[in-house]
Structure 1
Amino acid sequence: MSSKDAPSTWSGVDIAVPPPAHRLPGVSMAGFRQALPAPVDIAMVAHPSVTLLIDLSGEDGLVYETGVRRGRGSVVIGLAPGALRASGLVGECLQIRLRPAVAAAALGSPAGADAGAESLADVWGLDTGRFEERLRTAGSWDERFAMATDLVRRRIGDGGPRVDPEVAYIWRRIVAGGGRVRVDNLADEVGWSRKRLWACFRAQLGPTPKRAARLVRFDHAAHLLAAGLPPAGVAAESGYVDQSHLHRETKAFTGLTPTAVAAAPWLAIDDIAWPDLWRAGRPVPRSARGSGRR
């Protein structure tokens, strides 16, 4: 990669983020590179976006595995994949996060409440291989980001499924409230019946509003765990009934314990790989407010 990319480094991994020119609304990207391909075995932690993990390491690279599926190569990870691990001999990969409404248009279908993991080639078709090869031979991360931005923009513009403004508004309300919203009141805010909202939200985005709220609340809790807060404090901070409630939700979304989630590498680098998302949506615990901690 060209030195002009000026990537950050975390634990031996170079992390590159795109310049403003290669950013689309509802789309975030980050590039990851190890100096030499090295074995990895990482638990993936669910978060409120659909992830495209594009393997640039070649045939012996990324392996992904859920409780029911195992595959190799580039993968689409749904909103709530459950217990999911990524392993293999990985040198470089590009990760693209899509807001659910954008994912529906770019991928041609809703994200799915429990979509798990699906081969990118099965979703995007035969052009996937050519796209991956172009990314591998690019001279810099900036070129890669430009290629990926162009492809996602074209796929969004190809007339894929569109999300109703009311559904998109409810998603934003859930995210803005950190998942701590009374979902029974959301229908009134857009003038819909509860039945209509539940049906449209699920058909267009995948999960029900209630499950989406659970996922967003878990995402906030997971980042508090990664920040070093004890599970009991995280449970209270995130609006769970108690620590046992947090434990059950963590197991349901990831198959992991809160302690294991706290140590997950993907969470540790979020402020580097996704700086805009981090600044815009991450909770600051009460214990840190007013103290200058971040």
Structure 2
Amino acid sequence: MEFRDVRGLTAELERFGVGVSPYTISGAEPGTHLGLPSPTVTLIVDLQDGLDLSGPGLSRRTLFRCCIGGLHTTPFTIHHDGSQIGVQVSLSPGAVRRLFGVPASALGSSSFELADLAPQLAVRLYDSVGSADSADRGRVAAQTLAAGIGSRLGPTPPGADPDAVRAWRRILHSTGRVTVGELVAESGWSARRLTGVFTAEFGLGPKQAARLVRFDAARRALESGVTPGSVAADLGYTDQSHLSRDFTEFTGHPPRRYLAERRAEFVAPAGH
């Protein structure tokens, strides 16, 4: 669910990369599912007993109430008892700047409580979403985030290096198929300088970011039913084996195995 019910800042928030997805899952077998790498920062407001995570940077399974995770290149595992209720928010790096006044790199690659970064927003978001009717949770979350962003809009997020932002947008526009050499030539700076400002802003180098963006596009295509061979060809992978290697690095599984695991994440108990 995008910000279609929020007045005033609706179009701007969508354009600057904020998406809200309320979810209610119940009646499934207890199990796990993957929190996959993506080019957006993920914020989850859990409305049950806490989001139960293990994965990058976490020494053990950890419960979160309002969890925010930085850009990461290996998956988290989300443990559940067969039900999950909450709201998931995707934030572009620019939206992170606008909401919190820090670059995406400041979040690292692990997950932590939103209260550690923005305590007042964490309280407002949890309380407002938690007290809303189930049908209104997405709208309420959107309004709370819109108020948090306020007037911090514009072509470049406040404080961000414009060369880093241009390179990030070029990577997104090319679906990760632009080379570092092309980014350097377009920037007019040295590879060292561009890589430095890019990494300082996003926590990933340009090549790593391009791989992440292309993987995300490949995942979406595979989940929509496109065959691995077609995905590899459409997204400029050398061949299907190249796609499989990249996919395994980001998810822990080759494409067909990943799709089978995804289908098995939330299943009803036998006999239901």
Is the pair's TM-score, using the shorter chain for normalization, greater than 0.5? Answer: yes
- Residues 178 and 220 in structure 1, CA contact (< 8 A), matched pair in contact too: yes
Q: Which deviates more, 141-150 or 197-206?
A: 141-150
Contact in 2 for aligned 1:250/1:257 (Cα 8 Å): yes
2:121/2:148 contact within 8 Å kept:
no
Say whether residues 1:232 and 2:229 are aligned partners.
yes
Structure 1's 91 and 219: CA in aligned 2 closer, same or farther, altered over 3 A?
Answer: closer
Q: Aligned to 1:207, what secondary structure does the other structure show?
A: coil
Structure 2 equivalent of residue 247 of structure 1:
244
Q: Alpha-carbon deviation of 1:255? A: 2.1
Alpha-carbon distance in structure 2 between the residues aligned to 1:40 and 1:31: 20
Please give the alpha-carbon distance, in whole angstroms, between the structure 1 residues aligned to 2:146 and 2:252.
33
Give the Å deviation of 1:28. 1.6
Distance 1:170 1:68, change over 3 A: closer
Q: Which residue of 2 aligns with 1:85?
A: 77
The one-letter code matched in structure 1 to 2:76 is: L
User: Taking every aligned residue pair, what percent have the same amino acid on both sides?
Assistant: 33
Gap change, CA 1:124 and 1:88, over 3 Å in 2: farther
- Bigger Cα displacement from structure 2, 71-80 vs 204-213: 71-80
Q: Residues 82 and 114 of structure 1 are in contact (CA less than 8 Å); yes or no, is this contact kept in structure 2?
A: no
Total equivalences in the alignment: 246
TM-score (norm 1): 0.73
- The amino acid that maps onto 1:116 is S
Cα distance, 1:126 vs structure 2: 6.2
Q: Distance in 1 between matches of 2:76 and 2:169?
A: 26
Contact 1:65-1:71 at 8 Å conserved across structures: yes
Gap regions ≥5 residues in structure 2: 264-272
Give runs of aligned pairs for residues 55-134 of structure 1, distance below 5 A: 55-57=46-48, 60-69=49-58, 70-73=61-64, 74-89=66-81, 90-112=83-105, 115-125=109-119, 128-134=122-128
CA distances 1:9-60 after superposition (whole Å, capped 9, x unpaired) = xxxxxxx443153631221212112467985621122221111111122xx2
Aligned partners of 1:47 and 1:215 also within 8 Å: yes
How far apart are 1:84 and its partner, in Å? 1.0
Q: Which runs of 4+ in 1 moved over 6 A?
A: 35-38, 154-157
1:203 pairs with 200, 204, 207, which one? Answer: 200
Which residues of 2 match residues 1-294 of structure 1 at below 5 A? 16-19=1-4, 21=7, 23=10, 24=13, 25-34=16-25, 39=30, 41-57=32-48, 60-69=49-58, 70-73=61-64, 74-89=66-81, 90-112=83-105, 115-125=109-119, 128-139=122-133, 140-141=136-137, 142-153=139-150, 162-263=159-260, 264=262
Instruction: Give the C-alpha shift of residue 184 in structure 1.
Output: 1.1
- What RMSD in Å do the two structures reach over aligned CA positions? 2.9
CA shift for structure 1 position 81: 4.4
Kept after mapping to 2: 8 A contact 1:51/1:97: yes
1:161 Cα offset (Å): 6.3
State the partner residue of 1:5.
none
Q: What's the CA shift string for 1:146-175, capped at 9, x where partnerless?
A: 123212447889xx9621222211111111
Counterpart amino acid of 1:82? T
Q: Output the TM-score relative to the length of structure 2.
A: 0.78
**For the Cα contact (< 8 Å) 2:244–2:255, is it kept in 1?**
yes
Q: 1:200 to 1:67 in 2, by over 3 A?
A: closer
Unpaired segments ≥5 residues, structure 1:
1-15, 266-294
Describe the SS at the equivalent of 1:94.
strand
